[in-house]
Amino acid sequence: MSSKSVIPAPRAFETVERLRKNIERTIRGKTEAVDKVIICLLAGGHILIEDLPGLGKTTLAYCLARSIDCSFSRIQFTSDMLPSDIIGVSIYDEREREFTFKRGPIFANIVLADEINRTTPKTQSSLLEVMGRAKISVDGQTYTVPPPFMVIATQNPVDYEGTFPLPESQMDRFLMRMEMGYPDFKNELDILKDGHLHYDHLVATPVVSKNDIVELQTYVREVYVEDTVLEYIVKLVAATREKVEFRSGVSPRGTLSLKAAAQARALAQGRAFVIPDDVSLLVLPVFGHRLVLQKPMSDPMEERRSVEGLLQQIVEATPEPS
Amino acid sequence: MSMSKKRVKLRAEELQQLKWLVGSCLSLLALWALSSLEMQSSSVVLVAAGVVLLSIVSPRIVSRIPSKLWRPIGFVVLLIVIVDFALHLPEFMPPLLRMVILLLLFKTLAPRKRRDDLQITVLCLFCLVISGVLTVSLLFALQILIFTPVAMGMLFMICLLDRGSESRVRSVDWERFQYARLLGKVLRVVDYRVLFLGAVMFGFVVFISTLLFILTPRIDLDQAIPYLQIKTQTRAGFSENVKLGAVTDIQSDNSVALRIDVPSYEAIDGTPYWRILALDKYDQGYFRLSNDLRDRPYRSYLKIRELMGRELLSDSTPRERKSSYKWTLYLEGNTSQFLPLPGMFYSMRFEGLQDLVLMPGQHHVGLRSVQQRVFSYQIEDLDWTHRFPAMQIEVDAFSAVPMQFESEDVKYPMTNLELNLVSEERAYLADLNEQIVGGQAVDDVGAYSKLVTDYLWKNYSYSVSPNLSGNAEDAIVRWMQNAKSGHCEYFAAAYILLAREAGYPARMVVGFAGGSWNVVEEYFVVRNDDAHAWVEIYDAKSREWLRVDPTPGNGSSDPDIITSNVPSFESGVNAWIDSLRIQWYRRVVNFDQSDQIDMAISAKTWWDRFSERFSEKVKSIGASLQKWWQQPFSSEGIVRFVVLFCSALMVWGFWRSRYTLLGCLYRILRRPKALDPIRLQARRYLRKMRTKQVDGEIVDELMAMRFGPPVKRTKAKEVFERARKALRKSQS
Q: What is the DSSP string of A23-38?
A: HHTTSTT-HHHHHHHH
Chain A positions touching chain B (beta carbons under 8 Å): 1, 4, 224, 226, 228-229, 271-277, 280, 315-316, 320, 322
**CA torsion angle for A114, A118, A120, A124 (degrees, to 10)?**
30
pLDDT digits 0-9 by tens, B54-100? 988 888 888 888 878 888 888 999 999 999 888 887 777 778 888 88
Check if the beta carbon of residue B378 is closer than 8 Å to that of residue B259: no
Q: Is it the case that residue B469 has pLDDT exceeding 90? A: no
Min Cα separation B708/chain A (Å): 5
Most confident segment among A256-265, B159-168, B668-677: A256-265
Nearest CB partner across the interface for B708, out of A224, A280, A320: A224
Q: Is it the case that residue B489 has pLDDT exceeding 80? A: yes
Tell me what pLDDT residue B60 has: 84
Report the pLDDT averaged over residues B270-274: 83
Check if the beta carbon of residue A38 is closer than 8 Å to that of residue A250: no
* Structure-model confidence comparison of residues B576 and B173, the more confident one: B576
Q: Which of A223, A269, A273 to mutate to test the interface with B (most CBs of B within 10 A)?
A: A273
Size of interface A-B (CB pairs under 8 A): 39
* B707·A229 Cβ contact <8 A: yes
* A226·B679 Cβ contact <8 A: yes
Tell me what pLDDT residue B2 has: 37
Tell me what pLDDT residue A260 has: 93
* Per-residue confidence band for B4, with pLDDT thresholds at 50, 70 and 90: very low
| CA–CA distance, B234 with B276 (Å, rounded to integer) | 12
Instruction: Please give the backbone phi and psi of residue B243, each rounded to the nearest 5 degrees, phi first.
Output: -85, 150
* B709·A1 Cβ contact <8 A: yes
pLDDT digits 0-9 by tens, B411-444? 777 788 888 888 888 888 888 888 888 777 677 7
Report the pLDDT averaged over residues A107-114: 88
Q: With b meaning 16 or more CB within 10 Å and e meaning fewer, what string describes B74-91?
A: eeebeeebeebeeeeeee
Which residues, at least 6 apart from A270, have a Cβ–Cβ distance to it below 8 Å? Answer: A9, A10, A12, A13, A14, A16
* A276·B708 Cβ contact <8 A: no
Q: Which of A224, A232, A275, A279 to mutate to test the interface with B (most CBs of B within 10 A)?
A: A275
Name chain B contacts of A315, Cβ cutoff 8 Å.
1
* B683·A280 Cβ contact <8 A: no
- B66: how many CB neighbours lie within 10 A of its CB? 7
Which one-letter amino acid corresponds to residue B703? Answer: M
pLDDT digits 0-9 by tens, B590-621? 666 666 777 778 888 999 999 999 999 999 99
Tell me what pLDDT residue B670 has: 63
Tell me what pLDDT residue A258 has: 92
Nearest CB partner across the interface for B709, out of A229, A272, A316: A272
Check if the beta carbon of residue B289 is closer than 8 Å to that of residue B376: no
Minimal-distance CA residue of chain A relative to B703: A275
* B683·A322 Cβ contact <8 A: yes
Give chain A's domains with CATH numbers.
1-222 (3.40.50.300), 223-322 (1.10.8.80)
Most confident segment among A3-17, B414-428, B552-566: B414-428
Inter-CA distances, B706 with A7, B178, B209, B683, Å:
18, 43, 48, 6
* Per-residue confidence band for B308, with pLDDT thresholds at 50, 70 and 90: confident
Nearest CB partner across the interface for A228, out of B675, B686, B709: B675
Percent of chain A at pLDDT above 90? Answer: 11
Q: What is the DSSP letter of B338?
A: B
Write out the H or E segment, with its range, that includes residue B327: strand B326-331
Nearest CB partner across the interface for B710, out of A1, A274, A275: A1
Inter-CA distances, B20 with B26, B156, B171, Å:
10, 13, 11
Q: Is it the case that residue B352 has pLDDT exceeding 90? A: no
| CA–CA distance, B35 with B127 (Å, rounded to integer) | 10
Check if the beta carbon of residue B487 is closer than 8 Å to that of residue B462: yes
Tell me what pLDDT residue B5 has: 42
* B1·A271 Cβ contact <8 A: no
Which one-letter amino acid corresponds to residue B276? Answer: I
Minimal-distance CA residue of chain B relative to A322: B683
Min Cα separation A273/chain B (Å): 5
Residue extents of the structural domains in chain B = 12-224, 613-656, 673-731
List the alpha helices (DSSP H) in B216-277.
221-224, 246-251
Q: Is it the case that residue B104 has pLDDT exceeding 80? A: yes
Q: Is it the case that residue B676 has pLDDT exceeding 70? A: yes
What's the N-to-C CA distance of chain A in angstroms?
22
pLDDT digits 0-9 by tens, A126-154? 887 788 777 887 777 788 888 888 888 88
- Residue B381's region, left for phi above 0, alpha for psi from -120 to 50, else beta, is left
Min Cα separation B711/chain A (Å): 10
Tell me what pLDDT residue B594 has: 66
Most confident segment among B464-478, B558-572, B640-654: B640-654
Q: Is it the case that residue A2 has pLDDT exceeding 50? A: no
Minimal-distance CA residue of chain A relative to B690: A322
Name chain B contacts of A226, Cβ cutoff 8 Å.
679, 706-708
Minimal-distance CA residue of chain A relative to B3: A277
Give the β-pairing of B516-518 and B568-570.
Answer: parallel
* B1·A316 Cβ contact <8 A: yes
User: Does residue A153 sit in helix, strand or coil?
Assistant: strand
| CA–CA distance, B722 with B715 (Å, rounded to integer) | 11
Minimal-distance CA residue of chain A relative to B700: A271
Average pLDDT, chain B: 82
Sequence-ordered strand ranges (E) for chain A: 47-50, 72-76, 88-93, 98-103, 110-114, 135-138, 141-144, 150-155, 176-178
Average pLDDT, chain A: 84
Most confident segment among A1-5, B97-101, B664-668: B97-101
Length of chain B: 732
Nearest CB partner across the interface for B704, out of A229, A273, A320: A273
Percent of chain B at pLDDT above 70? Answer: 89
Q: Which of A224, A263, A267 to mutate to test the interface with B (most CBs of B within 10 A)?
A: A224
Q: Is it the case that residue B686 has pLDDT exceeding 60? A: yes
Q: Is it the case that residue B660 has pLDDT exceeding 70? A: yes
* A273·B708 Cβ contact <8 A: yes
Tell me what pLDDT residue B316 has: 53
* B706·A226 Cβ contact <8 A: yes
* A224·B2 Cβ contact <8 A: no
Tell me what pLDDT residue A198 has: 62
Strand partners, B174: none
> Residue B466, preceding bond cis, omega within 30 degrees?
no
Q: With b meaning 16 or more CB within 10 Å and e meaning fewer, what string describes A97-121?
A: eeeebeebbbbbbbbbbbbbbbbee
* B1·A322 Cβ contact <8 A: no
| CA–CA distance, B339 with A89 (Å, rounded to integer) | 124
Check if the beta carbon of residue B53 is closer than 8 Å to that of residue B25: no
pLDDT digits 0-9 by tens, A25-63? 888 888 888 999 999 999 988 999 888 888 888 888 888
Tell me what pLDDT residue B3 has: 38
Q: What is the DSSP letter of B530?
A: G
List the alpha helices (DSSP H) in B164-268.
179-189, 192-215, 221-224, 246-251
* B709·A224 Cβ contact <8 A: yes
Min Cα separation B709/chain A (Å): 6
Min Cα separation B702/chain A (Å): 11
Check if the beta carbon of residue B330 is closer than 8 Å to that of residue B587: no
Dihedral sign for Cα atoms in the order B496, B500, B502, B505: positive
Going by C-alpha positions, the residue among A191, A208, A270 that lies closest to residue A29 is A191
